[in-house]
Amino acid sequence: MTRIRTADATFVRPVGLSESSVASVLRVPPEVAGQRLDVFVHSQLRRTSRTRAQAIVRGSAYDAEGRKLEPNDRVRAEQQVLLWRPPWDETPVPRDVPVLYEDDHVLAVDKPPMLPVHPTARYHHNTLIKILQAARPTSPFLSLGHRLDRETSGVMLVSKTRAFDRALKKQLAARHQVEKTYTAITWGLPDRGDGARAFRYVLGMQLDEHNRLGVKMRASDAPGALHAVTTFDVEAARRARGGRLYARVKCGLETGRQHQIRLHLASLGAPVVGDKLYGPDDRTFARAADGELTPDDAEMLELPRHALHAARLALSHPITGAPLVIEAPLPRDMAEFWAALLPP
């Protein structure tokens, strides 16, 4: 992305805009000079649909002199395109974060689905760490020990001391005496071709440079691809009333790559229910980011989020060395979805 810091840009605030409005500044690289403005903006806002990009241009695009820009304007090399908007009205998030375990060094919580762990442009105050800091104003130190996707629920460790934080991250990076187990509900049964219900799966992966979303991974055996290993155990299978087959799958991580479980399951013909990126249509990912999911999208996805849950984390305590096993029960949305299905 060719976004530049507002502090490094020189521009005039358009007449009539609220003083509280803020700008995202996009620099036009020479190689795309002459493109339509809506095409350029669409290429920069990778999680945004083309229709949404056009609407953003019509409602918020100005040049550095404060002149309104239109979707069919042609961009110039090194031009600054400013997208003006009000400060984010943050999307509400779940704020009930159950504590699973706590000692002097660590806080283990059951992260609810749809709660981000890291601040983003859209979520700054409504994040796991901000909620915990607000609930524990006297805690001198709280730091995320690892990450989970916003839609993924389950076990998360939050460091309470710097010494624990350093030791935990070193241990997780080395994967020394660490076991991470997830539960997924999938469309269909994962099948590597031999009918096995429990197996170890090795499949390299790398960023899909041809996918415009900029975050999707793809299977790869090319030099430089990330080594990725997941173990799968199909615990049960059920069907919907219409006959569609589903599986509840226990997933173990031997490596910890971004989107690893979701990509591996999709490559085995059993994507995670509700997965907007590796499911039946990755265009739903952009529509969800724009708040523009259709009723047809919701029917296709079946759940508002992907059905993946960090069920268990086992490791030796980074400070004391004692065994530490944290488990989080299956969340209500996944439990109710599974309970509504029928025996095969």
User: Which of residues 44 and 98 earns the better pLDDT score?
Assistant: 98
pLDDT in tens, 116-169: 887 665 655 688 998 999 899 998 899 999 999 999 999 999 999 999 999 999
Report the C-alpha gap between 157 and 159 in whole angstroms.
6
Tell me the C-alpha to C-alpha distance, in Å, between residue 155 and each of 113, 148, 245, 308.
Answer: 11, 9, 28, 12
> In this structure, what are the phi and psi dihedrals at residue 92, rounded to the nearest 5 degrees?
-60, 145
Q: What is the pTM of this model?
A: 0.77
Which DSSP letter does residue 74 get?
B
The strand pair at 106-111 and 153-159 is best described as antiparallel
Nearest CA among 152, 175, 181 for reference residue 94: 152
pLDDT in tens, 264-287: 999 999 999 999 999 999 999 988
Q: Which of 38, 73, 110, 149 is catalytic?
A: 149
The answer to whether 149 is a known catalytic residue is yes
- pLDDT at site 99: 97
Token look-up 């790869």 returns 220
The kind and range of the H/E element at 185 are strand 178-187
Q: Do 305 and 272 touch, CB atoms closer than 8 A?
A: no
- What DSSP letter does each residue of 2-62 carry, written as one string? -EE-GGG----PPTT--TT-EEEEEE--GGGTT-BHHHHHHHHSTTS-HHHHHHHHHHHEE
pLDDT in tens, 165-201: 999 999 998 888 899 999 999 999 999 999 999 999 9
> In this structure, what are the phi and psi dihedrals at residue 334, rounded to the nearest 5 degrees?
-70, -40
- Tell me which of 105-119, 124-138, 203-217, 253-267 is least confident: 124-138
Token look-up 């096995």 returns 196
